[in-house]
Amino acid sequence: MDRTELERMLADIESDRVERTISLTDFEKYGEAICSFANDLPNSGKPGYLFIAATPNGVASGAKIEDQFLQQLAAIRSEGHIQPLPTMNVQKWTLGGGDMAVVEVFPSDLPPVRYRGRTCIRVGPRRAIATPAEERILSERSVGRSRTWDARPCTEATLGDLALDLFSLTYRPNAVSFDTIEENHRPLELQLASLRFFDLKTSCPTNSGVLLFGKDPCSFVPGAYAQYVQYNGESQADEVLQERRFSGDLLDIFRDLDRLAKELADGRPSDRAELGYQTVFDYPPKAMHELLMNAVVHRNYEGSTTPIMINHYSNRIEIQNPGGLFGDLTPDQFPKGGTAYRNPVLAEAAKVLGFVNRFGRGIPIIQRELERNGSSAAEFVLQPNYFLAIARRRP
């Protein structure tokens, strides 16, 4: 952020790139503003700015900006109400004669962006909900801007390759607000496109659309399944006790892997000093759930015929998925250096369907649950072409 530019915007009237508010408590307003700037309907390609503790005429309100408040603002990004994740910065500045919190929001590569299921935009100095025509404009930009495989068109597929009832009855009610659905007279293609599952320019589903709603996703993405093998020992040389394949649309795979996480738990009572008994697990179910969901969301689907491999040995479970760390995230930074999503549309879908609660919290939850269970911490092996997670069985 540049001070001269911030001061200039504060001195000017509100616009499609500037919003001011005095309130330090209206997080709904903040969420809608961030969503609006991320959509960048005017297509300026420039960030928008939300000035908090600023009066309408650009003067500081006199409020004190504390670190805790800045942390709450930053948490808006990952709490899951804004999808896909916005790119934003939060800083405290001394402007207009006092403290202000400034939220800088960059245009999304994957519009339309929604806040609580509604596509918020800015029309000049005011906020609004996008009309069908405005959503079409945003949707048509999405694939052109997209840098990720999951948002690109799957040119071999057609609308007939999708199980459209799965979208209409299961996904859409969780992704789009009820009032938007009630007034929705948009064609089905536009509804899919507004959620990044259909490309209007090529008239075909996107790769994420095929994975989530395809009648046979593996016919287009051969490695889009998970393979589970249990061994009667500590290596692959030992006897195979059982093999299972989890395939189909991603909703089925998410559900099956969630059930597998519960099956692997194998809870049992354990003595706890002065407090009687507690239940401990071979593998705590919440930790296993996060490990399995992460493998589905973060794996490399592009050009890979390799499935997610879940190898269950007598003393550990190894989960290996194709694709190493993505984007700017390096082994030195992992797991505390931030989150880079190879498949942001799939990450959003996992949140919409209730299989993840917040973005960027998977590893901390895994380690917390293992520690509470008395298990050793999960281990991660990072290679350029694969990612391996190891959970040790609790003795």
> Within this chain, do residues 376 and 255 fall inside the same structural domain, yes or no?
yes
> Within this chain, do residues 124 and 198 fall inside the same structural domain, yes or no?
no
pLDDT tens column, 68-88: 999 999 999 988 899 888 999
pLDDT given for residue 78 in this prediction: 83
> Within this chain, do residues 290 and 349 fall inside the same structural domain, yes or no?
yes
Whole-angstrom Cα distance, residue 330 to residue 176?
Answer: 35
The arithmetic mean of pLDDT across residues 207-213, rounded, is 97
In the structure, what pLDDT confidence band is assigned to residue 148 with cuts at 50, 70 and 90? confident
Cα-based distances in Å from 19 to 37, 130, 317, 322: 10, 18, 50, 43
> Within this chain, do residues 252 and 386 fall inside the same structural domain, yes or no?
yes
> How many H-runs (helices) and E-runs (strands) does the chain carry?
13, 18
Residue 41's φ and ψ, nearest 5 degrees, are -55, -40
> Within this chain, do residues 240 and 388 fall inside the same structural domain, yes or no?
yes
More confident residue, 103 or 201: 103
> Within this chain, do residues 138 and 274 fall inside the same structural domain, yes or no?
no
> Within this chain, do residues 204 and 319 fall inside the same structural domain, yes or no?
no
Q: What is the CATH number of the domain that holds 10?
A: 3.30.950.30
Cα-based distances in Å from 221 to 206, 208, 225, 313: 12, 10, 9, 28
In the structure, what pLDDT confidence band is assigned to residue 139 with cuts at 50, 70 and 90? confident
More confident residue, 66 or 329: 66
> Within this chain, do residues 278 and 382 fall inside the same structural domain, yes or no?
yes
> Within this chain, do residues 119 and 209 fall inside the same structural domain, yes or no?
no
Least confident of 109-118, 234-243, 265-274, 343-352: 265-274
pLDDT tens column, 292-332: 999 999 999 998 899 999 999 999 999 999 987 766 556 66
pLDDT tens column, 258-296: 999 999 998 887 766 556 678 899 999 999 999 999 999
Q: Indicate the burial class of 73 (C-beta count within 10 angstroms; 0-12, 13-18, 19 or more).
A: buried
In the structure, what pLDDT confidence band is assigned to residue 333 with cuts at 50, 70 and 90? low
DSSP string, 140-163: HHHHHH--SGGGSB-TT--GGGB-
pLDDT at residue 336 greater than cutoff 70: no
> Within this chain, do residues 379 and 232 fall inside the same structural domain, yes or no?
yes
Nearest by Cα to 316 from 237, 238, 379:
379
Whole-angstrom Cα distance, residue 249 to residue 299?
Answer: 15
pLDDT tens column, 24-55: 999 999 999 999 999 999 999 999 999 999 99
Integer distance in angstroms from the first to the last C-alpha of the chain?
52
pLDDT at residue 337 greater than cutoff 80: no
pLDDT tens column, 369-378: 999 999 999 9
The arithmetic mean of pLDDT across residues 332-356, rounded, is 80
The arithmetic mean of pLDDT across residues 121-146, rounded, is 84
pTM of the complete model: 0.75
Q: What is the CATH number of the domain that holds 245?
A: 3.30.565.60
Q: How many domains does the chain contain in total? A: 3
Whole-angstrom Cα distance, residue 320 to residue 315?
Answer: 16
- Cis before 112 (ω within 30): yes
- Write down which residue in 128, 154, 187 finishes a domain: 128
Q: Indicate the burial class of 59 (C-beta count within 10 angstroms; 0-12, 13-18, 19 or more).
A: middle
> Within this chain, do residues 7 and 36 fall inside the same structural domain, yes or no?
yes
More confident residue, 188 or 357: 188
Token pair recorded at residue 150 = 């999951």
- Write down which residue in 75, 99, 128 finishes a domain: 128
> Within this chain, do residues 259 and 377 fall inside the same structural domain, yes or no?
yes
Cα-based distances in Å from 98 to 8, 154, 237, 340: 16, 52, 69, 35
Whole-angstrom Cα distance, residue 41 to residue 124?
Answer: 10
In the structure, what pLDDT confidence band is assigned to residue 339 with cuts at 50, 70 and 90? low
DSSP string, 33-68: HHHHHHH-TT---S-EEEEESB-TTS-B-S----HH
Q: Are 351 and 343 in contact (CB under 8 A)?
A: no
pLDDT tens column, 157-187: 999 999 999 999 999 999 888 777 766 677 8
> What residues make up the domain containing 387?
226-392
In the structure, what pLDDT confidence band is assigned to residue 204 with cuts at 50, 70 and 90? very high
- Write down which residue in 93, 128, 163 finishes a domain: 128
Q: Are 246 and 225 in contact (CB under 8 A)?
A: yes
